[in-house]
Structure 1
Amino acid sequence: MSNPVQDSRAFRDALGLFATGITVVTTRAPDGEPVGLTVNSFNSVSLEPPLVLWSLSLGSPSEAPFRACSHYAVHVLAESQQALSSQFAGSRERRFAGLHTTAGLGGVPLIDGCLARFECRNDMQYAGGDHLIFVGRVERFERGAGHPLLYFGGAYRGIRQP
């Protein structure tokens, strides 16, 4: 048995053995600039009311815009969207480069072609260690078709179906 406080790298590696979907979360900053990032901490919370959650590292340059926004959108990425995931995990200045978006609730930038998309009211925020947990009330959603992009063991994966 390992102690997570004494061996944080081993703890992180063990957490990486839980396969997660990949999302891109987007909003608008108070000055109107689009803000977005790749997130794999997305989770459903409740059907009644319809709630989802995701978390953001404290001190992230995206923290202030997401704290202040009225709405955000969670885009569940398809297996074919690994490049989009990498783009939103990279340089903040290049995240929306070459990307066509449409305006969603609260002016949130929406990305087409995703496996699913949830437009959320920024309902609740909770401190959670070195992260801020956002709970959003889903006001609109869309479903696409295909297979999800997954992250497992430090690498992107897809689903292999028989």
Structure 2
Amino acid sequence: MEIYVLQCLSGNEDQLRKRLVLAHPELAEHVHIPRRHMKIRKQGRHFTKEYILFPGYIFLETEHLEKNYLESIRTIDSALRILPDSLHPLPLNRGERELLSRLLRNGEVLGSSAVQFDTNNRIQVIQGPLEGLEGSIVKVDRRKGRARVRLDMYDRTFEVDFSFHDMKKQNSADVQE
């Protein structure tokens, strides 16, 4: 299966998905909008909020980008183009496809990663969406429980924050109780 990237107006990802699936019901399981849960602390209260991983982009998984799909996409107002350009759409390359597949392997909504910090304060991912991305981590905020990761797609670089929880902190809290 190939994966094509559709660019749309930011905030209209769900609308584009609905309209595309309405026109082509067979695509229902093949249109992806990866999301992530983030831990937020506001006014001393903690909660989790869901964000789109790549705002303004949705991913279409298909064997062939059929002409009728292209025509449907062109008629949807919020759809801007198929990357790299609508006249010559190209699927993600193998590395980008593997990255997206790894991120989506547990569903479209990415949860928190379990991590530990070694004696040199380097992050070690035990499990979760950050697994295998340690080399792409550009910033870690231990207090907020976030790691900023640099992801490359279609010669563009995205920096995305992911949530994590420190297993050592969690285990030491269990011991103190």
TM-score of the alignment, normalized to the shorter chain, above 0.5: no
Whose relative contact order is higher, 1 or 2, with alpha carbons under 8 Å and at least 6 apart?
Answer: 1
| TM-score after normalising by structure 2 | 0.25
| TM-score after normalising by structure 1 | 0.26
- Choose 1 or 2 for highest CA Rg: 2
